[in-house]
Amino acid sequence: MKRSDVNRLLSDAKEFFSSMGFRLPAWAHWGPADWKGRSDTEEIVNAALGWDVTDFGSGEYEKRGLLLFAIRNGLSSGRPAAANLAYSKPYAEKIMIVDENQETPFHFHWNKMEDIINRGGGNLVLELFMADGDEEFSDAPVTVSIDGIIRTVPAGGTVVLHPGESITLYQNLYHRFYGEQGRGRVLVGEVSTVNDDSSDNRFKEAGGRYPALIEDEEPLHLLVSDYAAYLD
């Protein structure tokens, strides 16, 4: 992905969040220079909070991609310990934007359990498979909780979340999601146990979680994947 494309997507995302009445923390609007020389951002960096844009290695963000912002998170075992462990939360929260027919591909988590929430806009479509012992699709039916109501769908079955609805996704449950065609862009929330996107995603197809960026202009805002390079 080009940095200019990422910058455009971030500007668009801020407008969409605002139109939906969703407010980000003040530091979400910082430019790279605002981070320099600070000693009070350890939690943000170590817990991988902030902006995240990915095309999952597809090269076609509009078809297969996701923009999200990690609002809060604890520390996974793979991240450095902090001097102040007051922020070692056992939970995480994200806000995401999913466009019509824009796919987040099939994946599951070995450790994370999450609720995916339609916060507003269009409808969110999820397709579900259990993982078998070889981490392939199982033929077994899938039982999930939709806002506390138990529902069972066949392997590969579809669940549609309308605004205000949510689904609980447990470990080893393959899922992919996208915005329903003709219903518009979706504001999607996620509430989960501690999130670790560097080592707790098992994608069905090979791809990339973080994109390799072509630096054709300066960053508008730092991404989570920028912290190591810009803040060392």
Specify whether the backbone of 48 is left (phi greater than 0), alpha (psi in -120 to 50) or beta. left
Q: Find all residues with CB under 8 Å of 2, minimum gap 6, and list them.
A: 213, 214, 216
| Residue 212, pLDDT score | 87
| Residue 111, pLDDT score | 96
| Residue 209, pLDDT score | 80
For the beta carbon of residue 17, count every other beta carbon within 10 angstroms. 17
Give per-residue pLDDT as tens, 67-121: 999 999 998 765 555 555 556 789 999 999 999 999 999 999 999 999 999 999 9
- Cβ distance 44 to 74 under 8 Å? no
DSSP-assigned letter for residue 68: E
Give the C-alpha separation, 204 to 201, whole Å.
10
All residue ranges of the chain with pLDDT < 50 are none
| Residue 208, pLDDT score | 76
Q: What is the pTM of this model?
A: 0.94
- Cβ distance 130 to 144 under 8 Å? no
Q: Please tell me the class of the 3-231 domain.
A: mainly beta
229 burial (CB, 10 Å; 0-12 / 13-18 / 19+) is exposed
Q: Find all residues with CB under 8 Å of 180, minimum gap 6, and list them.
A: 100, 122, 123, 124, 125, 160
Give the C-alpha separation, 53 to 58, whole Å.
13
| Residue 52, pLDDT score | 97
| Residue 84, pLDDT score | 57
